[in-house]
Amino acid sequence: MTTFDLRKLRLRSGDQAREHVEIELEPLLLGGQSYEPEPNPAPAELKVTRASSGTVLELAFDVLLEGPCFRCLQDAELALQLRLREYEATKPEGEEERTEYLADDRLDLSAWAHDSIALALPDKILCRPDCAGLCPVCGKDLNAEPHEHVEERMDPRWEKLSELQQQE
């Protein structure tokens, strides 16, 4: 877990500091599959701006997630460019004026990055946009072997009705 102590910056109102940090990233678990972030730790730029009413925190980093495609289970990669911003009021009056990643002037960069990666994900991580997936009948990869099954499968619950129909 990567944290950053804001006290070491010693910022006054109107000051700004930029720090280059490396963030340890946890693998992301989606649908029982693990997606590994690369590089890990990820290089990032943290910008802290102290205002009279609070602190603005900005984090920028790029990450590549590697794991299985949602459709065909082959290797897939997803590149993300994240530019994040949080605000912590000096005297917060409500939840919208606080950031959950800051406690006792320690900023939890790993949790902030992990949550932001999860929020930036598309509905499905695919190996390519036109991935055909797996055949629902035989399970073969339709990208490598496009095919169709011509035999018509009958639901076993309708079998007796089909036999009666053939008797007439």
Does residue 80 sit in the same domain as residue 152? Answer: no
Query: Domain range for residue 76?
Result: 3-120
The reported pLDDT for the residue numbered 152 is: 65
For 89-134, how does the pLDDT look when each residue is reduced to its tens digit (9 = 90+)?
A: 887 776 667 888 988 889 999 999 999 999 999 989 999 999 999 9
Q: What is the pTM of this model?
A: 0.79
Does residue 93 sit in the same domain as residue 166? Answer: no
pLDDT confidence of 137, banded at 50, 70, 90?
A: confident
102-103/106-108 β-pairing = antiparallel
For 5-40, how does the pLDDT look when each residue is reduced to its tens digit (9 = 90+)?
A: 888 888 888 888 999 999 999 999 988 889 999 999
Give CA–CA dist 47/80, Å, rounded.
19
Strand partners, 28: 35
Give CA–CA dist 117/65, Å, rounded.
9
Total tally of structural domains belonging to the chain? 2
Does residue 83 sit in the same domain as residue 7? Answer: yes
Does residue 79 sit in the same domain as residue 157? Answer: no
